[in-house]
Structure 1
Amino acid sequence: MARTAVVMCEYAHMSTMTAPRPAPNADDLLVLLAVARDGRYTAAAARLGLNHTTVARRIDALEQALGGRVLARGAAGWVLTPLGEQALAAAEGVERAMRSLSHETAALHGVIRLSATDGFSGFIAAPAIVAVRRQHPDVSLEIVAATRRAAQHRVGVDLEVVVGRPHVQRAEAIHLADYVLGLYASRAFLERHGTPRSPAELAGAPLVYFIESMLQVDALDEARRSTRGMTDAVSSTNVYVHVDATRAGAGFGLLPAFLADPHDDLVRLFPDEVEERLPYWLVCRPEALRQPTAIAYIAALRARIAEVGDELLGRARTR
């Protein structure tokens, strides 16, 4: 009887032991990779040709295999947990291994998602992807045009370009270039209202610039210091509206030189007194710097910036 009790106790102890976890599945890791890049199950499912339920099941299986959560819900979508970041590194290794077996090892494909200001998007980002696509036509670019601070959690985008030095955690920040803001007016506007002889005469004059109450970027807000005495005439969150409103004669525009200088109907005023130099910074998740498509695109951005460096700093205008 005593022997039976001992055996039963030993069996009970064995039955409470944790069963060994299954090894993570490579397919599940690739699903995690897609969710990390897209930020949403639905977008990852579309990328992979799966349905939302399958993506959720794959993530659940991966979490059971790893013994913890790999994703947490953020304000704008799913973000990686510390365990998820470790799993992501393994997922990228699986992706590289699969790519190495491809017969088209030199070809890149995929979508690059970029958040950037309007001016940068049109003048730098779009021409840069054209250069990439000449060699890799299966690479595409999605641009979210926005003038804002760098996000603390990059969900749904691979790269961000912001104005001013960002303060971010768990991200890489790289200075790309500087550009110049100058004060411009249309020739027709100056003919009607006269050309001011000094910045002091601008007090009360109509200004075209960002909506002050909605401006989230400190560097762009500080750039107003040379125009503080002026009166807002046309304000917009879009810099191309600034250019067009200034050309139409709405007032004096505080404009990027690279967007204003190509227009012969705009005159730059007081370049020595009114010139604000602002930096473009690239912010990206560390894993983005290991993606071949992102690496190729960042190289193209740098090449485009080198090509138009004089325009960015307002040095290309000859008149």
Structure 2
Amino acid sequence: MPAAPLRRTPSADDLIILLAVAREGRYTGAGNRLGLNHTTIARRIDALEQALGGRVLVRGAAGWVLTPLGEHALAAAEDVEQALRRLSPAEPTLAGVVRLSATDGFSGFIASPAMAALRARHPDVSLEIVAATRRAAQQRVGVDLEVVVGRPHVHRAEAIHLGDYVLGLYASRGLLARRGLPASVEALAGEPLVYFIESMLQVDALDAARRSTRGMIDAVSSTNVYVHVDATRAGAGFGLLPAFLADPHDDLVRLFPEEIEERLPYWLVCRPEALRQPTAVAFIAALRARMAEARDALLGRPPEVG
């Protein structure tokens, strides 16, 4: 009976390459991060698979995804990364890129100030944002963290409730001067609405938020919430807007706050390996701090005086 072939010890360099591919989702992205070409990345992953005796990556819908063997190897790769950090005490404590997918409003009002606060302490950390309003992806390829509206249903991922925000109905002072103040919520039937494009809206919580405006007629619809704010300020219609974006504008008036108030949750979804990245963990802490700081604005509460 022939002897089984001997397997060599996996290379620490190959493990670091696997770590980069797992975080980037693509060989080209990993190569850019490490300063290597696509061919070298592919060759080193092949060498790692030969050393381990099985596949560590398989192609997913949006890029490379870890196999169970790959996830096992990833834990060793993270240990190698931590050991290398300890050998370079002169380097900043945190460095690297955090990749985030989030809604437009969250990206501007929460994520950007959170990263500014983190960079004040760790200037070698940076943030890349993919602005999107969608359901949580089942495979987070190419991003470390994802923020969605509504409780996500995901597998092989961690979901964390960050906090809530409020949608209210707003109109510009100019529009109210022309059309008059509606006497009641029922009087809004047939009036122009500024909100998301209904046929393209993929988020159940945002779709359900239309319930108080069902009798209204779409006037300006967009996938971008900042367009909603600008269109409402221009007098294109009554806008169903996040309070934290609308309240700072003196030319907007909130209507029927006791009757039209939709409270929606922000949820953070992340791959388990992201929670083992010190930079990602620090950014999550910065997001939580910013959410706490902005709580009153998110919920449409006036700032306390004195």
Is the structural similarity TM-score above 0.5?
yes
* Counterparts of 1:177 and 1:102, CA distance in 2: 37
CA deviations 1:50-97 (Å, max 9, x no partner) are: 110000001000111111111111111111111111111110011011
Q: Is the 8 A contact 1:261 1:317 kept in 2?
A: no
Q: Distance in 2 between matches of 1:63 and 1:249?
A: 61
2:103 corresponding residue in structure 1: 117
The count of aligned residue pairs is: 304
Equivalent positions of 1:140-151 (< 5 A) are 140-151=126-137
CA distance in 1, matches of 2:209, 2:197: 13
Contact 2:156 2:272 in 1 (8 A): yes
Partner Cα separation in structure 2 for residue 235 and residue 82 of structure 1? 44
Quick one: which amino acid aligns to residue 232 of structure 1? D
Letter of the 2:235 partner, please give it.
G
Which of 68, 80, 91 does residue 94 from structure 1 map onto? 80
Q: How much has 1:101 moved relative to structure 2?
A: 1.3
- Give every structure 1 segment of 4 or more consecutive aligned residues whose post-TM-superposition deviation is greater than 4 Å: none
TM-superposed deviation, 1:317: 6.0
Q: CA RMSD, aligned part only?
A: 1.0
Aligned to 1:255: 241
Find the counterpart in structure 1 of residue 54 from structure 2.
68
AA at the equivalent of 1:153: Q
Q: Does residue 290 of structure 2 align to residue 312 of structure 1? A: no
Tell me which residue corresponds to 1:37.
23
1:197 correspondence with 2:145: no
Specify every segment of 5 or more residues in structure 1 that has no aligned partner in the other structure, as ranges: 1-12
Deviations 1:82-135 (CA, angstroms, capped at 9, x unpaired):
111111111001101111111236521100000000000000000011011111
Do 2:92 and 2:124's aligned partners in 1 also have CA atoms closer than 8 Å? no
Residues 196 and 317 (structure 1 numbering): CA distance in 2 closer, same or farther, change over 3 Å?
Answer: farther
2:216 match: 230
Structure 2 residue identity aligned to 1:202: L
Give the letter for the 1:284 counterpart: C
Instruction: Give the secondary-structure state (helix, strand or coil) at the position aligned to 2:155.
Output: coil
Residues 1-319 of structure 1 correspond to what in structure 2 (within 5 A)?
13=1, 16-104=2-90, 107-316=93-302
TM score, norm. by length of structure 1: 0.94
Please report the TM-score for the alignment, with normalisation by the length of structure 2: 0.98
When Rg is computed on C-alpha atoms for both structures, the one with the higher figure is 1
Paired with 1:103 and 1:115, the residues of 2 have a C-alpha distance of: 32
Task: Find the aligned partners of 2:72 and 2:211 in 1 and give their Cα distance.
Answer: 46
Provide the rounded CA distance (Å) in 2 between the counterparts of 1:316 and 1:286.
38
Give secondary structure in 2 for the equivalent of 1:316. coil
Partner AA of 2:264 in structure 1: L
Extract unaligned runs of 5+ from structure 2. none
Aligned-pair identity in percent equals 80
